[in-house]
Structure 1
Amino acid sequence: MRAPHAPKARRTRRGRALRTGLKGWGGVAAMAVVCALAVAFVLLLPLTQSSGEGESTGGPGVAHGVQARAEDDPCLDPQIKKAPEKQTLSPSSADGDTIKKIKAREGEKRKLIVGVDQNSYRWGYRDPNNDEGGNTLEGFDIDLVHRIAQEILGDPNAVQFKAIPTNQRIPAIQSGRVDMVVRTMTINCSRMADVAFSAPYFKTGQQVLAPKSSPITGPDGSLADKKVCTAASSTANSELKARQKAGKLPKTTDITSTVVPNQLDCLVRIQLGEVDAVVTDGALAASQAAQDPTVELKGDAPFTTEYYGVAMKLDADDLVRRVNQILVDYRKDTANGWQASYDKWLSATLGTDSAKSEPPAPEYLRKS
């Protein structure tokens, strides 16, 4: 399920351009409480931290087909479909209209408004055991948000966080509720009709998460007659539909009855025995396995290759360029940049060697 498309004129313009150790959280009961709180509060934010999404004509009896075009669906362009992570603008530190409007905000409103997750362990979450008593968002994605705010507004804490469900990431950007989304969001060609992406900042892929006692071995025949949970509008949901249509997944695998707004909901569904497995990004699945020692990743490696990017409005070219420049500098900063954030938040769940998670050297194939 994808979010509604942007207006045709905007999509057409875009198409032309495209062508050229959390302690104390373990256990079923605690996770169920967290999930319930997430549902209750997810749409009540923003949380502001001062400290820290062809025409056809003809008369009666005449039918005219509408031919899909690459400007309406970037996935029709083979190069874009093959490497969507390369379809972004070259870096720049210049201020354009979008950034000037952000900087023009006054007083308490002079903040970068960012859609994030508050329930993804070690990515964007609240730790009830930290010094803030769970009142502060933290994690790998949150570190990146603070860096972007520092570079644009001169203050890493000039951020207004808004908790956005998985299926509301694109609508939040299109409606202007947020300036950007930094929420483990995979860059793919279908989303490029609706939002603009930065260069990738993380490499991952889809994996199956299931109870350790389960006979499930991966995205294969072992999922026959099993119920699988995914988040709405997620890459996992789209990938499973495609694999089932192509005959790579048993027809008896139920991938439609349990589609939830947030990924964490899927872990709770497993814990409650309502589903047999979850499919999500391996990076997120590893964090969920760390939260609940009764589940594990199935299969030796991810069965897709995907990249996370920062998502922004289609016409926010100057903001895309600035974020890309920030990402270049963030990767170079060995003391307080990408590697330091990985070591702090992800090494415990993904391993001390970050090589498999590092994004490729960026390419900037989008020209305007």
Structure 2
Amino acid sequence: MRRHALLALAAALTLVAGCGDAPDPPGLTAAASAPRLPGAEPITTAPTAEGTGTCDTEATLAPAALPRPGAMPAGSAMAAIVANGRLRVGVDQNTYMFGFRNPATGRLEGFDIDLAREIARDLFGDPDRIELRSVTAAERIPLLREAKVDLIVRTFSATCERRREVDFSSVYYRAAQRIAAPREAGITDGADLADKRVCVAKGTTAAAPLFDLPTPPREVLGVTTWTDCLVALQQGSVDAISGDEPILRGLVAQDHHLEIVGDAIGAGGYAVGLPKGSDELVRFVNGVLDRARVDGTWQRIYTQHLSALGASPGPPPAKYVG
């Protein structure tokens, strides 16, 4: 009986082994590949880079004296916002340190978020009289043009091309554009991107410096958010990410297999975006930013949200014309 049982077991194992060794039927060979993220698409032409064009990208209107909160000049854009009961601001919820949703609290937090609250503070006397609307980079200009938000505070860089459609405050933060890649990937600077796939967020100027490299990347992939770039890299759809250094540092904080490499390949400054032709509101926002520079507010929110970037460079000086 024991001998019969052993023979039966050997036969079963042989059958299993035979099944495992059988070739796959024609046409059924599987290839592992990650699906492309929704909204992802190759960028084939360079957008206008920051600092190019015939305009002065950082020039803005000088601030006026700040009115008492809640007592805005009659007929002004600020009075209309106060009458509406809240300041509507387009922000990010996917850029760590600048605008992100804290998973522990569900609240939007970051440098840009607190800066927007300072504008609400000087309008209403209450920083919480604000409606924060999460928007993608590509939605910033359309939402201002359609008056669906009052302001955009979302790592928004002024360019000559954008100035044709919207107005900007003074620059409140300057950033260098760099590269993030997996450790041990052999990517150390822009020259190593020649045969690589690089991710950027659509609607930003981050693709422009990549096309200006002596040998541009094999593919520049545009996605909806910077977090999508991180997912694309983790899936193997791209080899590197290029964006402003604070944005990249936020991604590195979420994935310690990444590192920021090489020298800067571009630079720009963040400003508040406003509807085109809203001179009074531009002057008001510039007054708030000036107040934040002088009274320590800028430094306080830098320390709270951006200290991981190193010692504070201090707020950039404003450049006023008119």
The answer to whether the superposition gives a TM-score over 0.5 is: yes
Match of 1:344 in 2: 304
Match of 2:247 in 1: 284
Query: Counterpart amino acid of 2:197?
Result: K
Structure 1 runs of 4+ aligned residues shifted over 6 Å read none
1:34-58 deviation per Cα after TM superposition (whole angstroms, max 9, x unaligned): x99xx9xxxxxxxxxxxxxxxxxxx
3-state SS, counterpart of residue 207 of structure 1: strand
Q: Does residue 100 in structure 1 map to residue 75 in structure 2?
A: no
1: distance between equivalents of 2:251 and 2:103?
A: 17
Contact 1:240 1:249 in 2 (8 A): no
3-state SS, counterpart of residue 265 of structure 2: coil
Q: Does residue 364 in structure 1 map to residue 316 in structure 2?
A: no
1:24-43 deviation per Cα after TM superposition (whole angstroms, max 9, x unaligned): xxxxxxxxxxx99xx9xxxx
Which structure shows the higher strand fraction?
A: 2
CA offset at residue 359 of structure 1? 4.3
1:299-331 deviation per Cα after TM superposition (whole angstroms, max 9, x unaligned): 1x4222211000001111111100100001101
Contact 2:209 2:265 in 1 (8 A): no
Gaps of 5+ in 1: 1-34, 40-73
CA offset at residue 252 of structure 1? 5.2
Paired residue for 1:89, among 61, 73, 77? 61
Q: Does residue 182 in structure 1 map to residue 159 in structure 2?
A: no
Paired residue for 1:266, among 212, 217, 229? 229
Q: Pairwise mapping of residues 1-368 of structure 1 onto structure 2 (< 5 A)? A: 76-77=53-54, 80=55, 83-85=56-58, 87-92=59-64, 93=66, 95=73, 97-105=76-84, 110-129=85-104, 132=105, 134=106, 136-220=107-191, 222-241=192-211, 243=212, 248-251=213-216, 253-255=218-220, 258-299=221-262, 301-334=263-296, 337-348=297-308, 350-351=309-310, 353-355=311-313, 358-365=314-321, 367=322
TM-score between the two structures when normalised by the length of structure 1: 0.69
Query: Counterpart amino acid of 1:283?
Result: P
Query: Counterpart amino acid of 2:312?
Result: S
3-state SS, counterpart of residue 142 of structure 2: helix
1: distance between equivalents of 2:284 and 2:109?
A: 23
CA offset at residue 194 of structure 1? 1.0
Closer/same/farther in 2, CA of residues 76 and 298 from structure 1, 3 Å limit: closer
Match of 1:66 in 2: none
Contact 1:112 1:159 in 2 (8 A): yes
2: distance between equivalents of 1:75 and 1:302?
A: 17
1:129-182 deviation per Cα after TM superposition (whole angstroms, max 9, x unaligned): 3xx3x2x11111111011100001221000111110111111111111100100
CA offset at residue 360 of structure 1? 3.0
TM-score between the two structures when normalised by the length of structure 2: 0.79
2: distance between equivalents of 1:84 and 1:123?
A: 22
CA offset at residue 251 of structure 1? 4.4
Contact 2:193 2:216 in 1 (8 A): no
- State the Cα RMSD in Å: 2.0
Closer/same/farther in 2, CA of residues 146 and 251 from structure 1, 3 Å limit: closer
Closer/same/farther in 2, CA of residues 90 and 210 from structure 1, 3 Å limit: same
1:307-358 deviation per Cα after TM superposition (whole angstroms, max 9, x unaligned): 1000001111111100100001101122xx111111111112x01x111xx4
Closer/same/farther in 2, CA of residues 360 and 223 from structure 1, 3 Å limit: same
2: distance between equivalents of 1:360 and 1:338?
A: 10
Query: How many residue pairs end up in the alignment?
Result: 269
2: distance between equivalents of 1:173 and 1:137?
A: 20
Closer/same/farther in 2, CA of residues 101 and 137 from structure 1, 3 Å limit: same
Contact 2:62 2:320 in 1 (8 A): yes
Query: Counterpart amino acid of 2:229?
Result: C
Contact 1:342 1:354 in 2 (8 A): yes
Greater Rg by CA: 2
1: distance between equivalents of 2:320 and 2:82?
A: 26
2: distance between equivalents of 1:76 and 1:304?
A: 15
